[in-house]
Structure 1
Amino acid sequence: MSLIMTYIGSKGCVMAGDKRSIGFLGDKSQRELLEEDLYSGKIKTDEKLLQRAGELDIHLKIVDDGEKVRNLDKVLVGEVKVRATHETNRKRIYATTNGYHQVELTGSEIKNVKSGQSSIVIFGNKITKEIAGKQLKKHWKSKISLKEVGKIFKKVMEDVAKTTPSVSPQYDIFIIHPQMDHKQAMELLRTTIISDVKELEKWRNKLKEEMLSQQRDIQMANRIITHGEVGRVKKVEGDKVEVILSEGVEALNMDWNVLAKSGDTIIMKIEEPTSLSLGDLVVIEEENLCIKKNKTPLSCNIILCKSN
């Protein structure tokens, strides 16, 4: 999915990118058949795409809110990416007046860089690049302003979107015209790429931490006791009940840190005064913490979990 077009000239730079993203869920071999039909141009409308997906038992998630092109003041950035099982491969173009770099990344590591001074660069699948190339040749002029380039890019985006569902009718377009020569452009692009890739690395690390945290939360939540023995009454004083934790039970705080282990004593509160005996069994039944013999409710501000 994607169509990104970039014009790099001596007066400025124009970049346009569609906003479509399609997720394919289903059998791998069937997904590959659907992708082949889509990228070869056999499927020309959203309706035909959904119909073919249904025939192959593939579930599609189609969204048109992607940000594939960005304006970093004096530099425009376009990106297409392919998610593999364990990593994301990215292809980016950084462009400004009189210069551009095409950068290939695996994760946040730069694998390849290709540079130039003036050009028209198209990112996309086979069919989108083919259609866009033909349309650009059709509308292009020998002498052309940045404003006219923008109008042509808009027309090409709309025409391609009518021909293949791999591109959305929605798109972003930017025009910049900073004044600089090729040497200045290369230095600006170099520093911009270094900064941008560092930001990508920070974002990836943060995302990784969040995913690990979520994974831990899920793992810990699965250990929370929703039914069974918790401990036995050790002492009762007013509304406070001391409970010795049973074997295989531990108490944690809201950050999943262990506060008490099996055999340790924790404090619970009894909601209504009642007669309790030492050794009474404390349980969780139907997710309610109580005394087993008479269902007297108890409460505590900790999490009761199964031990590792």
Structure 2
Amino acid sequence: MSLIIAYVGKKGCVMASDKRKIGYFGDKEKLAELEKDLYNGKIDNDEDFLSKANELGISIKITDDANKIKVIANTIRGEVSTKGTFETRRRRIYGTTNGYQIVELLGSETESRKAGKSGVIIFGNEYAKRMAETLIQRKWKASQSLRYMGDIFESIILEVASKTPTVGNKVDVLMQQPKFSESDAQKHLNMTIDHDIKVLIKFRQDLTEKLVQQNLDIEMANKIIDKGEVGKVVNVDGNMLYVQLNDKTQAVDGNWKQLAAPGQNVLMFTESDNVKIGDKVIIENEDLCLKKDKSSLKCDIILCSL
């Protein structure tokens, strides 16, 4: 659902892309039918696209704010991606003066990496690419400046967008003109791409850790006890009580680290002067208290079920 057009040569690199992003939700077979009509050019505007999706029972979210191209260290990177069930597949072009590389990634693993010196490169679905190629052949002149090439690429993307909803009508254009020989260009690209992939790996690792933590938070939050007996008083020292947890209760801290297992003692505080060894401790209406008279207790731990 993208269209990226790049020129790489002696003058530098210019790259243009649309900003469209489309999210789907619905039956896989119906979705395949919708995509078939899209890529065959049977749907040529957003209204018909939404109407056809509604007819098939497919929910769609269309946005035109995705940043598909960016400048990284005198290099322009363009990316199209497809989210699978378990991994995201990325296809990237990195372009600078006198050189480019096309990188295929699955997750953060490099599947292929190809280098070139110059040319016009197009990323997109086959239907959009065919239209763009025809328009480039009609409008292209090698003697044009990079800025003028960028204007041409923008006009091509807008024309394609008017004929297929797979491409949006908002366009980004970026240009870089560092002074690199062909060999220097590839050396610079190698360093830039290696670093960029390391950044992606770190991002994915951080994201995985966050997701794991979120899942743990949800799991443990569901175990927080808000009702029932949790233990009994085994020692009284002024306003401090030592409470032995029952066989279904554990104590954890704010990071869900276990502080006390079932059968172990935890410290609680009371303002009552009528606490006896053996008194039951309960949680009632989410309040920690003694069972016999509902006098309030306090502690700095979280009580959870196993």
TM-score, normalization by structure 1: 0.93
Q: Is the 8 A contact 2:226 2:284 kept in 1?
A: yes
Q: Match for residue 263 of structure 1?
A: 263
Structure 1 segment 4-15 matched on structure 2, within 5 A: 4-15=4-15
Q: Match for residue 151 of structure 1?
A: 151
Displacement of 1:142 in angstroms is: 4.3
Displacement of 1:156 in angstroms is: 1.4
**CA offsets, 1:81-130, max 9 Å, x none?**
11111112111111111111111111222211222211110000122112
Q: Match for residue 118 of structure 2?
A: 118
Q: Is the 8 A contact 1:235 1:241 kept in 2?
A: yes
CA distance in 2 between partners of 1:34 and 1:279 (Å): 68
Moved more, 51-60 or 287-296: 287-296
CA distance in 2 between partners of 1:41 and 1:240 (Å): 76
CA distance in 1 between partners of 2:297 and 2:47 (Å): 58
CA distance in 2 between partners of 1:132 and 1:36 (Å): 19
Is 1:31 the counterpart of 2:25? The answer is no
Q: Match for residue 177 of structure 2?
A: 177
Q: Match for residue 306 of structure 1?
A: 305
- Which SS does the other structure have where 2:220 is aligned? helix
Q: Is the 8 A contact 1:80 1:92 kept in 2?
A: yes
Q: Quick one: which amino acid aligns to residue 131 of structure 1?
A: M
Q: Match for residue 167 of structure 1?
A: 167
Is 1:254 the counterpart of 2:237? The answer is no
CA distance in 2 between partners of 1:283 and 1:31 (Å): 53
**CA offsets, 1:214-241, max 9 Å, x none?**
2222222222112221111223444333
**CA offsets, 1:34-88, max 9 Å, x none?**
2222222222222222222212222223232222111113211111111111112
Displacement of 1:177 in angstroms is: 1.1
Determine what percentage of the aligned residue pairs are the same residue: 44
Q: Quick one: which amino acid aligns to residue 202 of structure 1?
A: K
- Which SS does the other structure have where 2:242 is aligned? strand
Relative to structure 1, is the Cα distance of residues 7 and 262 closer, same or farther in structure 2, using a 3 angstrom cutoff?
A: same
Relative to structure 1, is the Cα distance of residues 286 and 59 closer, same or farther in structure 2, using a 3 angstrom cutoff?
A: farther
Q: Quick one: which amino acid aligns to residue 174 of structure 1?
A: L
TM-score, normalization by structure 2: 0.94
Q: Compute the RMSD of aligned alpha carbons.
A: 1.7
Q: Match for residue 282 of structure 1?
A: 281
CA distance in 2 between partners of 1:297 and 1:30 (Å): 59
Displacement of 1:292 in angstroms is: 2.5
CA distance in 2 between partners of 1:127 and 1:227 (Å): 61
Displacement of 1:274 in angstroms is: 5.4
Structure 1 segment 1-308 matched on structure 2, within 5 A: 1-270=1-270, 272-273=271-272, 275-307=274-306
Q: Quick one: which amino acid aligns to residue 143 of structure 1?
A: S
Q: Which runs of 5+ in 2 are unaligned?
A: none
Q: Quick one: which amino acid aligns to residue 281 of structure 2?
A: V
- Which SS does the other structure have where 2:204 is aligned? helix
Q: Which runs of 5+ in 1 are unaligned?
A: none
